[in-house]
Amino acid sequence: MLYHVRMDVNLPQDMPAEQANEIKAVEKAYSQELQQQGKWRHIWRITGQYSNISIFDVESNEELHNLLQGLPLYPYMNIEVMPLNQHPSSIREDDR
């Protein structure tokens, strides 16, 4: 199942830079592992914001929920999830 996920990150202003950098490093490693597994298909930065738009390819709502909760930045995120279905007018069989 494909999902369009928007993630807006809101780190506390008073969070020490060292702590923020450590969380971001762990987040990067986690997200890259999910990308290598094919579960996190695409990630794009939203220009001018600490936000991204991502495409996930997972088996279920529950799997996506668990992956998102595993993000180290999860406690500091607002997340919007939209399940995607192939449009009947699409000329493609897949999501290329």
Could you report the per-residue pLDDT of 30-49, keeping only the tens digit for each? 999 999 999 999 999 999 99
Local confidence band at 96 (pLDDT 50, 70, 90 cut-offs): low
Q: Please report the domains of the chain, with CATH numbers, ordered by start residue.
A: 1-11+37-87 (3.30.70.1060)
Which of 83, 87, 10, 86 has its CA nearest to residue 49? 10
Instruction: Report H helices in the chain.
Output: 17-36, 61-69
Could you report the per-residue pLDDT of 46-62, keeping only the tens digit for each? 999 999 999 999 999 99
pTM, full prediction: 0.91
